[in-house]
Amino acid sequence: LVYYISNMSFVENDSSEEDSFKHIIRVLNTNLSGREKTLYAFTAIPGVGRRFAQIALKKADIDPNKRAGDLSDEEVELLLRVIKNPEEYAIPKWMLNRQKDFKTGAYCQHLSNDLSTALREDLVRLKKIRAHRGIRHYWHLKVRGQRTKTTGRHGRTVGVSKTRA
């Protein structure tokens, strides 16, 4: 609160609400900006997109327009519980980023370091069984059927040089 005094100066009221604002929130090995809205701040965590963050906020009953720095520690813990255990909070299986895992057949949501580990394991498996996708990854070529005649050369020679005679 700001109070104006007759001599045109102002005095700020020292309240605990203003001191509780956190500019940086450390969650799952990721620094989240406290100035962003909660919906967009949590998308900085690898494995959490806008749709998943929106449904997690809805299940945790947190206002998505609230700034992330204004969240209390209890609200952050509740939101992390929803994000880590989506099946307990009735988030549909089709929203999860790991559907029918190759080893276990389970549906789960990988976050942060687990996501990069799972991706690396998948690529190692594809290379090991000599699948077409694995070979294309090994050769550093396009994997999903894109054209490669003129794009994606990554420093290789470009075009044909003519000799002047």
Q: Tell me what the pLDDT averaged over the chain comes to.
A: 87
Q: Please say if the pLDDT value at position 17 is more than 80.
A: no
Q: Which of these ranges, 16-25, 82-91, 125-134, 152-161, has the smallest mean pLDDT?
A: 152-161
Q: Please say if the pLDDT value at position 13 is more than 60.
A: no
With the CA atoms of 51, 82, 76 and 61 taken in that order, what torsion angle do they form, in degrees rounded to the nearest 10?
Answer: 70
Burial of 133 (0-12, 13-18, 19+ CB in 10 A): middle
Q: What is the distance between the alpha carbons of residues 149 and 50, in angstroms, rounded to a whole number?
A: 35
Res. 9 pLDDT band, cuts 50 70 90 = low
Q: For residues 3 and 71, which has the higher predicted lDDT (pLDDT)?
A: 71
Are the C-beta atoms of 79 and 60 separated by less than 8 Å? yes
pTM of the predicted structure, to 2 decimals:
0.75
Enter the DSSP assignment of 88.
G
The H or E element that residue 3 is part of is strand 2-4
Find the distance separating the first CA and the last CA of the chain, reported in whole Å. Answer: 82
Q: What is the distance between the alpha carbons of residues 101 and 125, in angstroms, rounded to a whole number?
A: 13
Q: What is the distance between the alpha carbons of residues 163 and 69, in angstroms, rounded to a whole number?
A: 64
Q: Please say if the pLDDT value at position 164 is more than 70.
A: yes
Other residues' Cβ atoms within 10 Å of the Cβ of residue 94: 7
Q: What is the pLDDT of residue 163?
A: 77
Q: What is the pLDDT of residue 101?
A: 86
pLDDT digit string (tens) for 21-60? 899 999 999 999 999 999 999 999 999 999 999 999 999 9
**Which two tokens mark 76?**
């952050």
